[in-house]
């Protein structure tokens, strides 16, 4: 690198390719004298102590590849997420709850948003949802880029219902980005107040008040709900059981001196989670189904080479060739009458 910088030698094409892969840039980037485009900054809930840079590199690379596929297939999804307005100093729980209601209404998420939120954000709203493995488990991240738009990073090691909560939590950050992080070059660090609002938003988005109350009341006996019944509610709304307990604590007006009992209830429910939660469920793929479909389209249309296709799907060239060899009727048209 020093010899390159000092003009003592010129990099070969293969070396440029290696540099391009490491820094997630095209080869032309290293040959261009134009201004450098600033790197989008990832907002973490809790930034991993080790390996954060590698996770960010992989996350942003997948987002940029996703964007490339959209461009090559001429199918860039338009971002259609409702944006929050207001002042960070005055943005509180009331505003977060109203935002949750607005999102649920405008995206038509229904009474059980956790069952469809991921698909709606990906297929309808144009958000890029990436799943990678990292530690700690109880964190996630989001980013907004002028190039590829909105993206959210979830931990593939978590169960689906925990990823649902993380997704809703990060969605709050995305929707309020201009409120809490209006300066593009500022360090993206979420305050405790912002994090609490994100959790508050996630609860109200995933567990609408009236359907949630109905679910609790239908399972309560003499004003009490068993732990087993709370796991049923959690499964119904596809959320973690501790989120159910937190929402109950809020909706049913528990006194401040009940805080310690509330904490013990959550710890007890978490300790009993193993028999009720299917923790061996298959892990999600790193990229969504739409990413894969766009890669196949780009390959069949000649917009993507076999080698680059293999790179984008993280498969061997031999496996990529199977896609090339497969006959397809994808170009065939079906005649329908659109009244």
Least confident span in 47-51, 77-81, 195-199, 264-268? 264-268
SS (H, E, C) 226-253: CHHHHHHHHHHHCCCHHHHHHHHHHHCC
What's this model's pTM, rounded to 2 decimal places?
A: 0.84
How much is the pLDDT for 24?
57
How much is the pLDDT for 298?
93
Q: What is the pLDDT of residues 102-156, one digit of tens each?
A: 999 999 999 999 999 999 999 999 999 999 999 888 899 999 998 899 999 999 9
In this structure, the chain runs to a length of: 339
Question: Cis before residue 5, ω within 30 degrees of 0?
Answer: no
Give the model's confidence band at 184: pLDDT under 50 very low, under 70 low, under 90 confident, else very high.
Answer: low
CA distances from 115 to 120, 200, 226 (A): 10, 19, 24
Q: What are phi and psi of 43, to 5 degrees?
A: -95, 115
Over residues 292-297, mean pLDDT = 94
How much of the chain, in percent, has pLDDT values that exceed 70?
A: 82
Give the model's confidence band at 5: pLDDT under 50 very low, under 70 low, under 90 confident, else very high.
Answer: confident
Over residues 162-181, mean pLDDT = 95
Place of tokens 């440029």: 16
Q: How many CA atoms lie within 13 A of 97 on its CB side?
A: 9
How much is the pLDDT for 149?
92
Distance CA 289, CA 296 (A): 11
Over residues 257-275, mean pLDDT = 60
| Residue 292: burial class (beta carbons within 10 Å; 0-12, 13-18, 19+) | middle
Find out whether 125 and 138 touch, Cβ atoms under 8 Å: no
- Say if residue 185's pLDDT is above 90: no
Over residues 228-234, mean pLDDT = 87
Q: What's the token pair of residue 191?
A: 């305050």
- Say if residue 82's pLDDT is above 80: yes
**DSSP per residue, 17-42:** HHHHHHHT--HHHHH--SPPPPPPPP
How much is the pLDDT for 32?
67
How much is the pLDDT for 306?
92
Over residues 11-26, mean pLDDT = 71
Distance CA 167, CA 173 (A): 10
Q: Using the 8-state DSSP alphabet, how is residue 330 labeled?
A: T
- Say if residue 271's pLDDT is above 70: no
Other Cβ atoms less than 10 A from the Cβ of 169: the count is 25
Domain regions of the chain by residue span: 2-31, 41-287, 289-324
């Amino acid at each position: 690198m020093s010899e390159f910088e000092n003009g003592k030698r010129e990099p070969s094409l293969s070396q440029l390719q290696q540099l391009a892969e490491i820094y997630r840039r095209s080869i032309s980037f290293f040959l261009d004298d134009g201004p450098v485009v600033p790197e989008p900054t990832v907002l973490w809930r809790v930034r991993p102590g080790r390996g954060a840079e590698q996770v960010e590199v992989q996350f942003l690379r997948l987002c940029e590849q996703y964007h490339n596929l959209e461009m090559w297939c001429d199918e860039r999804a338009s971002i259609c997420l409702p944006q929050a307005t207001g002042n960070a100093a005055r943005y509180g729980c009331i505003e977060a709850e109203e935002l949750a209601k607005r999102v649920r209404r405008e995206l038509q998420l229904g009474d059980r948003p956790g069952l469809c939120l991921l698909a709606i954000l990906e297929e309808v709203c144009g958000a890029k949802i990436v799943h990678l493995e990292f530690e700690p488990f109880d964190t996630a991240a989001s980013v907004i880029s002028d190039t590829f738009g909105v993206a959210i990073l979830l931990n593939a090691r978590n169960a689906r219902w925990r990823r649902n909560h993380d997704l809703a939590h990060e969605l709050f950050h995305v929707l309020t980005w201009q409120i809490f992080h209006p300066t593009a070059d500022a360090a993206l660090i979420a305050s405790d107040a912002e994090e609490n609002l994100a959790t508050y938003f996630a609860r109200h988005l995933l567990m609408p008040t009236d359907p949630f109350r109905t679910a609790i009341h239908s399972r309560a006996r003499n004003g009490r709900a068993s732990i087993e019944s709370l796991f049923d509610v959690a499964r119904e709304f596809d959320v973690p059981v501790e989120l159910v307990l937190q929402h109950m604590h809020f909706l049913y007006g528990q006194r401040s001196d009940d805080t310690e009992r509330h904490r013990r209830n959550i710890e007890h429910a978490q300790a009993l989670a193993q028999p009720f939660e299917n923790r061996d469920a298959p892990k999600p793929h790193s990229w969504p189904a739409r990413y894969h479909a766009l890669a196949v389209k780009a390959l069949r249309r000649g917009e993507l080479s076999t080698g680059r296709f293999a790179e984008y799907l993280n498969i061997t060239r031999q496996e990529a060739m199977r896609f090339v060899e497969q006959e397809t009727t994808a170009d065939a048209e079906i005649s329908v009458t659109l009244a």
